[in-house]
Chains A and B, each alone.
Chain A
Amino acid sequence: MDWSELQDARLAVITEFVSRTPGGHVGRTALMKFCYLLQTVREVPLGYRFTLYSYGPFDSSVLSDLSTAETLGAVQSEVKFFSDTYSYQITKGESGDFVLRNGAKFLDKYRRDIDWVLEKFGSHTSADLELESTIVYVDREAAKRSEQLSVDQLSQLVRKVKPRFNEDRVRQNVRALLGMGLLKSC
């Protein structure tokens, strides 16, 4: 794929996630983590390069693509305010179908993978997605080093970067992901 075909594919995937997430809208955190899981777990070649931040795996290119999708009218964003924070509510825009058509070949090829992400994670909160994607990230790092970890060991590594989550919750999420067969080091 050359760069423009890749961009068409990414824009189509983003628009697809936005339009098919339960409720018809998605936040930025959820979108970021969906793309991460799609690329990392399902090995869909989106060409993103995720690295770890305190809010989980992140690649600024996802936000660049989201911004391009907004400019093209494929999606639209609205800011929602809460007591001490805010989030974005992203919905499909008028030109969404144009972008989906441009990336139709890619979407058809990886339809089952997108379905899988939405089926397994589509209804999760952004906090859950942040934790789950961090667990996958830490797991993949350990697997790269050829390390074999117990549930407790992986949970402890995750808690060191995400101290706000209590031990039980992290362990519970590690077990759930392990049960789904998504972890490589554990």
Chain B
Amino acid sequence: MNPHRTYEIRCPVHGFIAFNDWERQIISHPAFQRLRRIRQLAWTDQIYPGAMHTRFEHSLGVMHTATLLYDSIVRKAKDVLRNELGYDEAGFQRSRQVVRLSALLHDVGHSPFSHASEELFPEQEDGDGKYVHEQYSAAIVRGPLRDAIEDHKLNKANYGIKADRVAALIEGGAGAEQDIFWRDLISGQMDADRMDYLLRDSHHTGVHYGRFDLHRLISTVTAIPDTNGPPRLGIEYGGWHAAEALVLARYFMFTQVYFHKTRVAYDIHLREAMKVLLQGHFPKPLREELDEYMKWDDWRVLGLLAAGKGGEHGERLAKRDHYRLVFQTNEVQTEADRKKLTRVRECLGDLQAAEMPASKSWYKRSDGDIAVYSNEDGQKKVAPLSKYSNVVSHLGNNDQVLVYCLPERREEAAKKVEEAIHGLE
């Protein structure tokens, strides 16, 4: 094999995605190929039938997008990065490769049906809450993928990148050293992950809400020096409308796709069916349990569900007999809305089958404002996007709560909700 050969793969969003022989070996590894069997949007196809895409194509797209962002930032702010982070030319090349691998592998630890089953991750031993999928990704990078990352000729001859550094950038650890600066490209307000999934999910669901001008964003993203702290990722003044479109795309995709009432109901059923299949929770991302964890993928779950082993919720998934929405709060809640929700819960009693707050959705992550940088006639100015965008400044936090009942008790529950609301008026 020629280690210097490059390859291309066709992507429905980005056209061709290029990768080298080293990355090809990582992509071909069974741990990465497993992502072909994990759907990006769980059971969203029950609402948007086109949403059958997988974490595999998304991961390639994130690597591609992260590289475009990285190259643009380095082109624009090389001196800032050189001064602040101490990179020389070889350092820039090496950190670029670390970013590519971290982007490629950031989702390699996903559980079946992506975020829908994440609530079944076990608790950490030290009381730090439940494990999250990034910790599984990091464990897989440090374990099964270590040799593929560290032993390729291209790496040994040019970079000397250790799996631990890639894992640290994925999960947010000090082992990433100065490359931690790039973590915002993997997980942040303007990360490659978000840019890719909005466009990809839009493409496959057939909605247009997630579209924004990716290339304008890439051409205007930069590293902004800050006298009080490390440089921050931001956008040049000319790109603020593109950044605004990204924020709006995320808002629309959340309300129209990710937090769609029926999609959320399927997430609830899947989680409950998975509890039965797992008889508790997933194995931990520890060396001795990782192999067992990686055996869990969509195929295995679907096989078990088809064999009737998913209990009541497995049945509901199979028969499309999902919970029905009986009440939803406003997206942006006031004091009165919170009181109304409390009253509805009291009136529904055991008629309430489940509830889901937007705050518990992974897609709800909000990473603050985007910095906008202008430099006109030598006058440098940095301001948050909300200072320029009237729309963004008025986009309140979405704290919507969806309340569900059993389909067979829908009328009864609806009457109770009506009584509860009437009683408050």
Contact = CB atoms under 8 A, between A and B. Distances in A.
B372 to A, nearest CB: 10
Interface stretch (A17-25, A80-88, A103-111): A80-88
A43 B127 contact: yes
Contacts, number: 125
Interface stretch (A116-124, A157-165, A168-176): A157-165
Interface size class of B (residues with CB under 8 A): 35 or more
Interface in A1-57: 3-4, 7, 28-29, 43, 47, 49, 51-55
Contacts of A161: 174, 176-178, 180
Nearest to B371: A86
B84 to A, nearest CB: 6
B181 A54 contact: yes
Contacts of A160: 174, 177-178
B337 to A, nearest CB: 10
B99 to A, nearest CB: 13
A142 B49 CA distance: 47
A173 to B, nearest CB: 15
Given A64-B366, A85-B228, A141 B128 contact: no
Nearest to A162: B230
Contact of A4 (B126, B176, B357): B357
Given A72-B333, A84-B225, A86-B383, A55 B364 contact: no
B15 interface: no
B364 A64 contact: yes
Interface in B286-311: none
A63 B367 contact: yes
B173 interface: yes
A83 B224 CA distance: 13
A138 B335 CA distance: 40
Interface in A124-178: 126-127, 130, 137-138, 141, 144, 157-158, 160-164
Contacts of B232: 55
Given A43-B127, A54-B230, A64-B397, A98 B384 contact: no
A49 B127 CA distance: 11
A82 B382 CA distance: 9
A130 B180 CA distance: 14
A72 B334 contact: yes
Contact of A126 (B183, B228, B333, B335): B228
Contact of A86 (B84, B172, B178, B384): B384
A84 B226 contact: yes
Contacts of B181: 54
Contact of B174 (A55, A126, A137, A164): A137
A72 B335 contact: yes
A101 B134 CA distance: 36
Nearest to A6: B359
Interface in B317-354: 332-335
Interface string B168-200: 000111101110110110011000000000000
Nearest to A127: B228
A144 B332 CA distance: 39
B180 A52 contact: yes
Contacts of B226: 84-85
A52 B174 CA distance: 7
B173 A52 contact: yes
Contacts of A55: 229-230, 232
A67 B384 CA distance: 15
A114 B212 CA distance: 43
A47 B129 contact: yes
B178 to A, nearest CB: 6
B86 interface: yes
B58 to A, nearest CB: 20
Nearest to A126: B228
Interface string A75-101: 000010111111100000001001000
B227 interface: yes
Contacts of B335: 72-73, 95, 98
Nearest to A46: B129
> Which of B226, B230, B232, B399: most chain A CB closer than 10 A?
B230
Contact of B126 (A52, A144, A164): A144
> Which of B126, B183, B188, B397: most chain A CB closer than 10 A?
B397
Interface in B274-291: none
Contacts of A73: 335
Nearest to A157: B174
B184 A60 contact: no
A96 B366 CA distance: 22
Given A43-B127, A79-B387, 19 more contacts: A7-B357, A7-B359, A49-B132, A51-B173, A52-B173, A54-B183, A54-B230, A64-B359, A64-B365, A64-B397, A67-B396, A83-B380, A84-B226, A84-B227, A85-B228, A86-B384, A130-B229, A141-B174, A163-B86
17 contacts: A3-B359, A7-B359, A49-B128, A52-B176, A54-B181, A60-B366, A61-B365, A63-B366, A63-B368, A67-B366, A71-B397, A79-B383, A85-B382, A130-B229, A137-B174, A158-B174, A161-B177
Interface of A: 3-4, 7, 28-29, 43, 47, 49, 51-55, 60-61, 63-64, 67-68, 70-73, 79, 81-87, 95, 98, 126-127, 130, 137-138, 141, 144, 157-158, 160-164
4 smallest beta-carbon distances between A and B, as pairs: A51-B172, A67-B397, A160-B177, A52-B172
